[in-house]
Amino acid sequence: MQEAIHVMNTSLFSASGAVALLIFLGSYALIILEKVHRTVIAIFGAALMIVFGIFMGFYSQDAAISVIDFNTIGLLVGMMIIVGVAKDTGLFQYVAIKSAKLAKGEPWRIMVFFAIITAIFSALLDNVTTVLLMVPMTLVICDYLNIKPMPLLMVEIFMSNIGGCATLIGDPPNILIGSAAGLSFMDFVVNLAPIVIILFLVMLPIFRWKYGRHLTAKQEDKDAIMKLREADSIKDPVLLKKALFVLGIVVIGFFLHGWLHMEAATIAIFGAGLLLFLDNKNPERALHEVEWTTIFFFIGLFVLVGGLEFVGAISWAAGKMIEMTGGNLAVTGTAMLWGGAIFSAFIDNIPFVATAIPLVNEMSSTFFDLDPIWWSLALGACLGGNGTLVGASANLVVAGLAEKSGYKIKFKEFMKMGLVVMLITVAISNVYIWLRYF
Q: What is the pLDDT of residue 13?
A: 63
pLDDT-derived band at 37, boundaries 50, 70, 90: confident
Give the dihedral sign, CA 389/394/396/402.
Answer: negative
Alpha-carbon distances of 385 from 71, 91, 339, rounded to whole Å = 18, 29, 12
Distance CA 287, CA 290 (A): 5
Distance CA 46, CA 359 (A): 26
pLDDT-derived band at 1, boundaries 50, 70, 90: very low
Q: Is pLDDT of 11 > 60?
A: no
Q: Is pLDDT of 209 > 80?
A: yes
Q: What is the pLDDT of residue 282?
A: 75
Any domain includes 306: yes
Q: What is the mean pLDDT of the chain?
A: 87
Q: Bigger pLDDT: 271 or 140?
A: 271
**How many domains, in total, are found in the chain?**
1
Average pLDDT estimate for 325-352: 86
Any domain includes 250: no
How open is the CA angle 358-44-77, to the nearest 5 degrees? Answer: 65
Distance CA 413, CA 187 (A): 36
Q: CB 278: neighbour CB atoms within 10 A?
A: 16
Residues 6 or more apart in contact with residue 128 via CB below 8 angstroms: 75, 76, 79, 172, 393, 394, 397
Q: What is the pLDDT of residue 216?
A: 87
Q: Nearest-CA neighbor of 382 among 319, 336, 317?
A: 336
Q: Which domain holds residue 318?
A: 7-65+301-438
Any domain includes 286: no
Distance CA 347, CA 87 (A): 32
DSSP state letters, 96-163: HHHHHHHTTT-HHHHHHHHHHHHHHHHHHS-HHHHHHHHHHHHHHHHHHHT--SHHHHHHHHHHHHHH
Give the dihedral sign, CA 309/315/316/317.
Answer: positive
Any domain includes 159: no
Q: DSSP 3-state helix, strand, coil percentages of the chain (rounded to 5)?
A: 80, 0, 20
Amino acid at 431: V
Q: Is pLDDT of 435 > 50?
A: yes
Average pLDDT estimate for 418-429: 97
pLDDT tens by residue, 51-107:
999 988 889 999 999 988 888 888 889 988 988 888 788 887 788 888 888 988 899
Q: What is the pLDDT of residue 158?
A: 97
Any domain includes 290: no
Q: Is 295 left (phi over 0), alpha (psi -120 to 50) or beta?
A: alpha
Any domain includes 101: no
pLDDT-derived band at 5, boundaries 50, 70, 90: very low
Any domain includes 176: no
Alpha-carbon distances of 345 from 4, 323, 378, rounded to whole Å = 23, 22, 13
How open is the CA angle 204-345-134, to the nearest 5 degrees? Answer: 45
pLDDT tens by residue, 110-139:
999 999 989 998 998 778 888 988 898 899
Q: What is the pLDDT of residue 129?
A: 83
Distance CA 80, CA 437 (A): 39
Q: Is pLDDT of 177 > 80?
A: yes
Any domain includes 71: no
Q: Is pLDDT of 227 > 50?
A: yes
Strand, helix or coil for residue 376: helix
Q: What is the pLDDT of residue 75?
A: 83
Alpha-carbon distances of 77 from 73, 290, 438, rounded to whole Å = 6, 6, 41
Of the segments 152-156, 253-257, 340-344, 401-405, which one has the largest average pLDDT value? 152-156
Average pLDDT estimate for 243-261: 86
Q: What is the pLDDT of residue 244?
A: 92
Q: What is the pLDDT of residue 98?
A: 87
